[in-house]
Every structure is written in C-alpha cells, then in structure tokens.
C-alpha cells in the first residue's frame, strides 16, 4: 500500500475521517497502551477490511493490516468528501464568501467535462 499525504475531515455527524491516497477511512478505535488509532475503510457496505494505523499523539502513519481494499476506488466520491471538508473549514470563518468558496473549490478539482457531469454534488456543507 502506497502512503501519501494524510488529510483529515469530519463525517456528517461529526466523526473523524482520514483521507490517504485515493481512499477514505473512518475512526474505529484508539489504544492508549499502544498509542495508536485504528482507521477502517469507509466502504463497510462492501465489507472492506482494509485498516490503517496512525500514532495517537503525532497523527503520523504507522502501518496497515496488510489487507487490500476489495473494491475499486471511487475517485469522484473521494474528491467530493475532500471538497465538503475543505468548505466546512472555510465557512467557519464568517468573512468567507461561501458561493465563491464553493465555485473555487470545484474549480480546484480540475474535473474534465465528463467527470463534472457525474460529480456527486454535496447535499449539505
């Protein structure tokens, strides 16, 4: 499994999310004794058992459970989640022009026409 930059986000109900490479993981558990957090693949509906571990204090990548994802990556879904989380951080600043921030966020995705038509627009921010 390739390890790229890790970014963080929140689920709709406030749970923590981790974005790494082209995958999304959700917080599962924390071990104070081992000082690590376990993150499972978001695609529980596909019974995916891929897991990554991060250091609970520094948030750095520690490893994985050696199980590959059992589903193809939905790159548009990953981009949507990253966009929504980026917008959530921006709208916390009350001086941000929200429509302009949405337009800029979508433009930054650099989607071609085919992907733009199929891009799953967020229901809420």
What confidence tens digit (pLDDT) does each residue in 2-36 have?
567 888 888 878 889 998 888 999 999 999 889 99
Copy the structure tokens of residue 121.
Answer: 């627009």
Give how far the C-alpha of residue 91 lies from the chain's centroid of Cα atoms, to the nearest Å: 18
Q: pLDDT tens digit string along 71-107?
A: 998 888 888 888 888 887 777 776 778 788 878 888 8
3-state secondary structure of 8: strand
- HSE-up of residue 64 (Cα within 13 Å, Cβ side): 16
* Residue 1: band (very low, low, confident or very high) from pLDDT cuts 50, 70, 90: low
In sequence order, what are the beta bridge partners of 41?
25
Closest CA to 99 of 110, 89, 115, 87: 87
Asked if 42 contacts 52 with a C-beta cutoff of 8 angstroms, the reply is no
Assess contact for 4 and 20: CB atoms under 8 A.
yes
Q: pTM value? A: 0.70
């Amino acid at each position: 499994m390739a390890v790229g930059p890790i970014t963080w986000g929140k689920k709709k109900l406030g749970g923590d999310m981790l974005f790494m490479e082209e995958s999304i993981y959700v917080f599962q558990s924390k071990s104070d004794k081992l000082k690590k957090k376990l993150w499972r693949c978001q695609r529980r509906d596909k019974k995916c058992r891929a897991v990554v571990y991060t250091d609970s204090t520094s948030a750095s990548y520690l490893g994985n459970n050696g199980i590959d994802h059992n589903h193809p990556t939905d790159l548009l879904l990953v981009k949507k989640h990253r966009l929504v989380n980026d917008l959530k951080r921006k709208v916390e600043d009350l001086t941000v022009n929200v429509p302009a921030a949405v337009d800029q966020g979508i433009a930054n995705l650099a989607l071609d026409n085919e992907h733009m038509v199929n891009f799953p627009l967020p229901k809420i921010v």
